[in-house]
Structures are given as structure tokens and as C-alpha cells.
Structure 1
């Protein structure tokens, strides 16, 4: 299945994507949140869709897409997890996964605008594969780790490099700004993806390809990441894990390239669709 959420930000309704057509599943009830995944919602939703085949109402293509999961308890991210990305930033290949967090308030829809934060001059892009947890995970072994995956999403781990690297603290400062986690267009269940460790992912800036990688370059694969993270914290149903970005980020160019108002980002991944984000200036006081 492919799960979507649509409508006004903060008031999204739930739906599914079938053969390229969006359908409303609001009659199922609830949202794609912790309770949904914890209560075996994926299997029950599949039964609901089958029972209502031919009866589901199509959603207009003009409707806004929200993030395909409701705000999770946490967004856990992995840094420097592609060998070529580590090389372009002159970083040592990690011996263990590097963990940081994005604030859940950064979560937005796949085609929502990216807002450059106040006083920012180094906002950057990072196309990534994200996974969603389907059940409580604590001290999980690598052998059983894939049983904890509800599905996969396209994610742009937007980053402010000055905040991240030059402001005397952890990476989190440059990762959790509002709009810095565009997610979607949909969540694809694992049966939709033939080989999660062989997916092309790419990103274009104003039509020019900047990132063109493959998950076969991951230093730490999905089972290792889930098992490793679960040794340090409990992952809850609906939690997001973003697995790192390939080479081609703005920081890696000489000189670096950073986002400015009016820029357009287009990104995509095999089996996980595409997204488009326009960059805007911060307009607050």
C-alpha cells in the first residue's frame, strides 16, 4: 500500500494511492499516527480498502499533500551514512552510526515551501530515505530489525550549516528549523519496495542535478540502524528514522552553494515518488 495524508496543514485527512489515483480513507477513522501503527493499522487499513473497492472517493489532484504520517514522537537522523558524502565533506568514515534529531515541528508536506530561517545564510539540502517504525522497538537485533519497518518515505533533511557546525553545539541546532523536514509524497509499505538497499535517489536545484546517489552506498544498512538506535532509546510506532544523504550537498561544493529565496528543489527516489519545494525568505519579525 501507499499511504497519503491530504488537505489543510494541521487538519489533514487520510488516504491511499492506488495506481496513481488518490483515494480518501477517512471513513476508516483516525490518523496515521502512533496509535494507528501500534494497533496493527496497516493490516486493518488494507482490509478496509479491499472491502470498499470501487466505493472509495477519489481526491482531487489539486489537493495539498501533507506528510504521510502524523507528527511522530521523534525524528531520528543518521549523519555521514553514505561513503561518498563523507568523502566530499572531508569527514572520517564513521565507525558507528552518528545520531542526531530533527524537531517534529520541522515536519511539512512534500511540496510545501522551505523557509530560510531568520539570520540564515547557509541553508542546504539533503535528499534521504526515511523509514517509519511500526511497533515499539527496544534492544532489537539486526536479524529481527526489518520486522519493525512500517514503510519508507522520501525525505529532504534540510540543514542550516552555520547553525549546525559553527554555533558551539550539536548538529540539532541546524536541523530542526520550521519546514526543515519535507516528507512524502507517500509512505510505501515494504512490499512495494523490491530492494531498499538498491534505490536511486536524486535532487535537482533549479533544474540542475546536484545529488544522484544510490542506497547501495550506505555505510550502515537499515537493519543495523534500527538495531543500533534501539540500544540507546525506544523507538515508538510512527517514529521516523532518516538514513543519511548521498554526495552532492551544497556544503560539499567549492565554493559551497546555499539556498536563496526563489530557488526550486526537485527530488525523488525509486519507488517513493517525487517532491518539489520552493524556497522562501523568513517573513516574521
Structure 2
């Protein structure tokens, strides 16, 4: 287990949030990663396959820092959703979507860096 994607300005939340009473079972949510509308990580992607459960994630995170009520902790990437497994690379204009049942869709477009 390691902390990743945790950099200044790299964590965006919103515009909505879901409360625990809206999710029947956090360990049984369908997930899918899409590139330009094409599902990339659907092969059985479900939170039931989480490598580390939330109690272990929180215990690990709290070893090196103080956690406060209301903090948001992420858990990783949808299986098969990183493109590394497919040999594909992102290009200017690509649309990336990460969706988790009951939570919604995180959608971002790739923009080429300018000199």
C-alpha cells in the first residue's frame, strides 16, 4: 500500500458529495473507466475486488499523519482502467471518465501542454 496522486492542487472534490446513507454497500459498487466513451475497465470492476478495505486504508494513512473528521481519502484506480494494460497512450483531446455506481462520473479532457 502506498500514497499516490497526492500532490498540491491535484485533489478536486465536487460539485456534489454522497452521504453514507445513499450507498447500500460500499463493497458492492460497479465501476468503469472510459476513454472517449469506450469502456476500458469494466472487466468485473466492482468495489468488492478492492485490494485494501477501507479500515486498512484509514489505519495506514493515519500512521504518518493526523486524520480529521471530514477529510476525503481516495482508494486507487479501477482495475484495467489505467491504459497501461492495453498499451494505449493518451492524446490531446481525449476524454477520460471514471464512474462509480451511486457516486457519479469524474470526467476530464486531456489538453496538450503549450510551450
TM-score after normalising by structure 1 = 0.36
**Equivalent residue in structure 1 for 2:95, among 242, 249, 264:** 264
Residues 280/101 of structure 1: CA separation in 2 closer, same or farther (3 Å cut): closer
Count of residue correspondences:
112
Bigger Cα Rg: 1
Secondary structure in 1 aligned to 2:60? helix
Q: Please name the residue that 2:2 is paired with.
A: 98
Q: Please name the residue that 1:235 is paired with.
A: 67
Secondary structure in 1 aligned to 2:84? helix
1:28-177 alignment runs, 5 A limit: 97-108=1-12
Q: Please name the residue that 1:282 is paired with.
A: 113
**TM-fit CA distance, 1:222:** 0.7
> 1:241 and 1:207 mapped to 2: Cα distance?
27
Q: Please name the residue that 1:191 is paired with.
A: 21
More strand by share: 1
**TM-fit CA distance, 1:101:** 5.0
Greater length-normalized contact order (CA 8 Å, ≥ 6 residues apart) = 2
Structure 1 runs of 4+ with >3 Å offset = none
Confirm or deny: 8 A CA contact 1:185 1:273 kept in the other structure.
no
More helix by share: 1
**TM-fit CA distance, 1:263:** 0.8
> 2:33 and 2:102 mapped to 1: Cα distance?
15
Residues 273/101 of structure 1: CA separation in 2 closer, same or farther (3 Å cut): closer
The unaligned stretches of length 5 or more in structure 2 are: none
**TM-fit CA distance, 1:185:** 4.6
Residues 102/237 of structure 1: CA separation in 2 closer, same or farther (3 Å cut): same
Confirm or deny: 8 A CA contact 2:33 2:78 kept in the other structure.
no
RMSD: 1.9
Confirm or deny: 8 A CA contact 1:198 1:214 kept in the other structure.
yes
The unaligned stretches of length 5 or more in structure 1 are: 1-96, 109-182
